[in-house]
């Protein structure tokens, strides 16, 4: 935990929070905080500052803090993901918050098992705990927005146009694509600060008509070589690669 993130409901006075349950236990037993220790603290949706441990008890850990006047890193990705099985989704949620995803669209595609949409993990409070852990690792206070879309066509028609109009960088990861990510980087260039919209398919990949539909919406398909990454690793690796390309800038 590189940042302790809190919500409004954790406040017990305007400049003091109390943490209970498993989180307090983590602070006590893993991080071994003691009264008087300093730690970085941030409010979800707000700023980051310095906190001081005021009390450590069996019930709670309370932390006072000064001005939260450091700004969190802005997220710079939107990700469209064919809903993976719950064990993988947990990691993707963590990764998304840690690496700066602004909006995670979890969508249905032909190779997504319908039962995944009734997983208990999809309850907002469950997802929140993985997202918060990601923020605390990645030092950010800006919670990714997560939305569920049970109809592929409906998503493409109703939601996608709003997402694509915010970026000129819409990319479709597709192992059978003709073009590699490095060839794409040479031909199109990436701009520093540009928000990227990345679509990642299910295990087994997108179906042809799905690839065609994304193409029609301006997505550039690409592959990353012969190794097939598990969805959670693919998201992590691709966010890292796109971030690097933006920093390199221009045509590589």
Distance CA 162, CA 117 (A): 23
d(CA 9, CA 31): 23
Smaller CB separation from its own copies, 159 or 243: 243
Nearer to its own copies, 155 or 206 (CB): 206
- Residues 132, 1 contacting (CB under 8 angstroms): no
Show contacts of 33-41: CB within 8 Å, 24+ apart.
33/61, 39/4, 39/63, 40/2, 40/3, 40/4, 40/139, 41/3, 41/4, 41/5, 41/6, 41/17, 41/65, 41/68
Tokens of 229: 């990454």
Write each residue from 84 to 113 as x if it is in contact with its own copies (CB under 8 A), else as -, in one continuous string. ----------xx--xxx-------------
Nearest distance, CB of residue 139 and its own copies, angstroms? 6
8 versus 230: smaller Cβ distance to its own copies: 230
Which CB sits closer to its own copies, 101 or 160?
101
Distance CA 78, CA 11 (A): 31
CB of 154 within 8 A of CB of 108?
no
Residue 193 CB, shortest distance to its own copies, in Å, is 13
DSSP 8-state secondary structure symbol assigned to residue 143: P
The contact mask relative to its own copies for 60-89 (x = CB under 8 A, - = no) is -------------x----------------
Stretch that binds its own copies, among 13-21, 55-63, 181-189, 194-202 (CB under 8 A): 181-189
Residues 208-247 that bind its own copies (CB under 8 A): 224-230, 233, 236-241, 243-245, 247
| Interface positions with its own copies (CB under 8 A) | 2, 73, 94-95, 98-100, 137-140, 180-182, 185-186, 224-230, 233, 236-241, 243-245, 247-248, 252
């Amino acid at each position: 935990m590189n940042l302790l993130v809190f919500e409004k409901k954790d406040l017990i006075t305007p400049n003091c929070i109390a943490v209970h349950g498993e989180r307090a236990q983590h602070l006590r037993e893993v991080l071994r905080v003691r009264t008087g220790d300093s730690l970085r603290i941030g409010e979800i949706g707000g700023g980051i500052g310095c906190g001081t441990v005021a009390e450590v008890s069996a019930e709670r850990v309370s932390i006072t803090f000064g001005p939260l006047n450091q700004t969190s890193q802005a997220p710079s990705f939107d990700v469209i993901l064919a809903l993976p099985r719950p064990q993988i989704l947990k990691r993707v949620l963590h990764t998304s918050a840690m690496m700066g995803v602004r909006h995670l669209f979890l969508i249905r595609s032909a190779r997504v098992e319908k039962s995944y949409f009734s997983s208990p993990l999809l309850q907002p409070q469950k997802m929140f705990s993985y997202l918060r852990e990601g923020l605390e690792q990645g030092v950010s206070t800006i919670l990714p927005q997560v939305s569920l879309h049970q109809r592929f066509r409906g998503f493409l028609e109703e939601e996608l146009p709003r997402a694509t109009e915010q970026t000129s960088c819409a990319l479709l990861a597709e192992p059978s694509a003709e073009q590699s990510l490095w060839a794409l980087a040479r031909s199109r260039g990436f701009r520093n600060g540009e928000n990227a919209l990345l679509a990642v398919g299910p295990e087994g990949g997108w179906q042809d008509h799905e690839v065609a539909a994304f193409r029609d919406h301006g997505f550039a398909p690409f592959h990353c070589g012969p190794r097939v990454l598990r969805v959670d690793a693919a998201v992590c690796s691709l966010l890292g690669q796109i971030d690097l390309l933006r920093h390199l800038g221009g045509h590589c």
